[in-house]
Structure 1
Amino acid sequence: MRCLGWSSWAQRMLPPRFARPTPSWTRSWGIAVSIEDEYRSVRYGAALSRMDHVGLLRIRGDDALDAVDAVCSGDLWVRDGRMLQTLILDERGQPVADVYVCPDYDACILMVEGMTTEQFSTCLARNADPDLEIALEDLRPEHELISLHGPYAWEVLSKWLTPDIIGLPYLSFYGFDRGTCFRAGKTGEYGYDLVIRSEDAQDARRELLELVRSVGGSEVSLGTLDLCALENGFFSVRNGSVEGLTPVELQLQWRLSARKQFPGSAAIEARRATGISRRLTYFVARDGVNPGDQVRGPDAPVGEVMAAAFSPGIGGVVGTVLLDIPVAYPGIDEFFVPNEGSAQPIRTVSSPLIVNRSLLVNPHHHSYATREDVLNPPMWEGSLP
């Protein structure tokens, strides 16, 4: 396996099984980069990614926030310049979109995963008061979304934009001459989403990628970002099927309002009244576990694997399993996935599963050049079954 500009300390901090026999490859501006190298960029340096899968919408008008409130599941108690994570549910109470709501004075910016602009417009027309004075605007293709992630993403952005960026609080945003910077991210590391005007996007990507490479990073794929989100317990509309599941089973009730009606709220109340039989729980395993696999206990089946992926940081498989309520708890190592002629043990765990490097890096005292001075405990402090 190739390592692009990484010091020996980063190699030492990863488990021995970091190198896979047959690595996957993506292409970063003409340079082949393995998934393992991408992962290292996110966890130890900085990573650049195009977020073409995210919808960018703006609702203008005095009633913009009221319109958004009608379709989202959470209470939109958020002031201008700040961001709030919420969901859009279907009538069965199943999550169909993961949404950042960003009030911006007389408008509201939305970053939407899982739903097209047309689908959102239909949902808005169906659920919002038709008398509200609003105008829905699709920010693409006039804008592009670029993201930065990693313990030194702040250093990249401070050189490209302004040193003041290190003071931008999590879940907040501000405008600059070429677009808007959102302090967000779902990898567990420092994260920034940049909405850039299309005419400036190519130059911005080139400049940012040069800076990213100067801190040992690379451009990374959506799959790597999804893996990092999975390790940290972030919900993703791509990490496993939600068919038949509501935020109650998915442990997302903190994104549900208790004071208002919203699409799917009747189904949520019905599910709460009848009770749930299974709940999402995180697990680790050595190998041989895939989405859809049955999970068994000593005497009977107890659940089904929803998401599973190899984690270089852990040296094994990390994922989620939908377990029967009596056993849907972390710290249980009596479960296994039956394979042909063998049984693959799994252990349930709590999220986040790893020690994110960004927790150890202080932008006021550290930099990539002085990374040797940063404490580096093992990324994974647990053990595999």
Structure 2
Amino acid sequence: MVELKRTPLYEEHQAAKAKLIDFGGWEMPVQYSGVIEEHHAVRKNAGLFDVSHMGEVDVRGKDALAFVQRLITNDVAKLEDGKILYSPMCYPDGGIVDDLLVYRHSPDHFLLVVNASNTDKDFAWMLEQVQNFEVVVENISDQYAQLALQGPQAEKILQQLTNTDLSALKYYTFTYGEIEGVKSLISRTGYTGEDGFEIYVSPQFGRQLWRKILETGSAEGIQPIGLGARDTLRFEARLPLYGNELGAAITPMEAGLGIFVKLDKEDFVGKDALVKQKEQGIPRKLVGLEMIGRGIARSHYPLQKDGQEIGFVTSGSYSPTLDKNIALGLVRADLAVLGQELDVMIRGKAVQAKVIPSLFYKRS
């Protein structure tokens, strides 16, 4: 049996009696008190996530900017120091290697944050792309513990632990500061649809910060949050997950990420294929679905119209915020029309659903 990797916070999850599962080779908490309770805690108050399994790749050197520009579909040339960019990273055929966050320290220094289960694959792909660029690309994932503090009370809680003025930290920017005397990279980012912060620290300080943030936020109703609620939260906010909405056989255009694909910039990996797809017409589109019949549409369930297969469910679950069963599905473009009715095949049985706007939740 393959031994699962553990984050520096593993003992904290054990102590909290979290239910632990195998997530992409990592032993991670799926829930503490329960998915629905944890979901509501983040929407109403605040939640603390262990995301130390995420991958971090450091890019430095004279050609760092040009290298990252070639690697991703978004335009990093417009990014200023201290700011963050979201982007897909594609194969030459337009399929998605991964989606990632790009942190710009300077024109010759970037930090790329990638999905945990893709870290080794992404790093190998990046090394292949180095070619003639004068850059040093290093996987520094083991140099960080990463905590995500999310929810309407996140700023109030974290501000009690740092002298850094968090109100001055805008969305998708980052800074260095001290939290409880621990040197931290603090970014105003997250994966829940709520305001919040992602905090990067040396692994030896992870547990100390975890405990301190939970203790400080207790009056504001903070809870530790597992992967179960992380999934329902990101899904309601239409934030894609690799292996569901994104993959090697799905392009950013099909996944509804066209806004992050800058076809007018100079060359990048996958550009020719994506230009061609846009010219010829995008064959599939990601849509929101609401279940009319009884049942939950799960990832990879087939979608049918009049008995013909027309796509598949990418993510689906009960939505705690909306109190209904919803899903995202990749369907034939001509059927991606609001109000369109189709069938979700649940264990071989056709269950009716209809197409609705796919941004199920947006914070006020």
The one-letter code of the counterpart of 2:299 is P
* Aligned partner of residue 33 in structure 1, secondary structure: coil
345, 353, 356: which one pairs with 2:352? 345
321, 324, 327: which one pairs with 2:332? 324
Structure 2: runs of 5 or more not aligned: 1-12, 19-31
Displacement of 1:228: 1.2
* Aligned partner of residue 33 in structure 2, secondary structure: strand
Query: 2:112 matched to which residue of 1?
Result: 110
Displacement of 1:337: 2.5
Query: 2:140 matched to which residue of 1?
Result: 139
User: Which deviations, in whole Å up to 9, do the C-alpha atoms of 1:209-263 show, x marking residues without a partner?
Assistant: 2123332121112232222111112222143463522112111111112122222
Q: Determine what percentage of the aligned residue pairs are the same residue.
A: 22
Whole-angstrom CA distance in 1 between matches of 2:282 and 2:360? 25
Whole-angstrom CA distance in 2 between matches of 1:70 and 1:222? 32
117, 121, 124: which one pairs with 1:122? 124
Query: 2:267 matched to which residue of 1?
Result: 261
Displacement of 1:294: 3.0
Query: 1:369 matched to which residue of 2?
Result: none
Displacement of 1:344: 2.5
The residue correspondences of 1:81-230 to structure 2 (distance < 5 A) are: 81-105=82-106, 106-113=108-115, 116-132=118-134, 134-162=135-163, 164-177=165-178, 178-230=183-235
Displacement of 1:39: 0.5
Structure 1: runs of 5 or more not aligned: 1-25, 360-385
Whole-angstrom CA distance in 2 between matches of 1:37 and 1:92? 42
Query: 1:277 matched to which residue of 2?
Result: 283
User: Which deviations, in whole Å up to 9, do the C-alpha atoms of 1:125-178 show, x marking residues without a partner?
Assistant: 33235241x323333323211111111111111112247212310000000131
The residue correspondences of 1:238-317 to structure 2 (distance < 5 A) are: 238-240=243-245, 242-258=247-263, 259-285=265-291, 287-297=295-305, 300-317=308-325
User: Which deviations, in whole Å up to 9, do the C-alpha atoms of 1:58-95 show, x marking residues without a partner?
Assistant: 22233322221121111112000010001111232111
Whole-angstrom CA distance in 2 between matches of 1:36 and 1:83? 31
Q: Is the 8 A contact 2:310 2:332 kept in 1?
A: yes
Query: 1:378 matched to which residue of 2?
Result: none
Q: 1:201 to 1:299 in 2, by over 3 A?
A: closer
Query: 1:37 matched to which residue of 2?
Result: 37
Does residue 1:48 correspond to 2:48, yes or no?
yes
Greater strand fraction, Structure 1 or Structure 2: 2
User: Which deviations, in whole Å up to 9, do the C-alpha atoms of 1:333-367 show, x marking residues without a partner?
Assistant: 532335579643212221321253xx2xxxxxxxx
Q: Is the 8 A contact 1:48 1:212 kept in 2?
A: no
Displacement of 1:322: 1.7
Query: 1:372 matched to which residue of 2?
Result: none
Q: 1:230 to 1:333 in 2, by over 3 A?
A: same
The one-letter code of the counterpart of 1:48 is L
Moved segments of 4+, more than 6 Å: none
Whole-angstrom CA distance in 2 between matches of 1:300 and 1:124? 40
Whole-angstrom CA distance in 2 between matches of 1:119 and 1:299? 38
Q: 1:73 to 1:156 in 2, by over 3 A?
A: same
The one-letter code of the counterpart of 1:224 is A
* Aligned partner of residue 194 in structure 2, secondary structure: coil
User: Which deviations, in whole Å up to 9, do the C-alpha atoms of 1:189-215 show, x marking residues without a partner?
Assistant: 012110012222221111012123332
Does residue 1:234 correspond to 2:239, yes or no?
yes
Whole-angstrom CA distance in 2 between matches of 1:314 and 1:124? 40
Whole-angstrom CA distance in 2 between matches of 1:104 and 1:204? 24
The one-letter code of the counterpart of 1:222 is L
* Aligned partner of residue 152 in structure 2, secondary structure: coil
The one-letter code of the counterpart of 2:330 is L
Whole-angstrom CA distance in 1 between matches of 2:96 and 2:39? 28
User: Which deviations, in whole Å up to 9, do the C-alpha atoms of 1:307-353 show, x marking residues without a partner?
Assistant: 212211122222211222222023x1532335579643212221321
Whole-angstrom CA distance in 2 between matches of 1:43 and 1:165? 20
TM-score, L = length of structure 1: 0.78
What is the aligned length? 330
TM-score, L = length of structure 2: 0.82
Whole-angstrom CA distance in 2 between matches of 1:58 and 1:303? 38
* Aligned partner of residue 30 in structure 1, secondary structure: coil
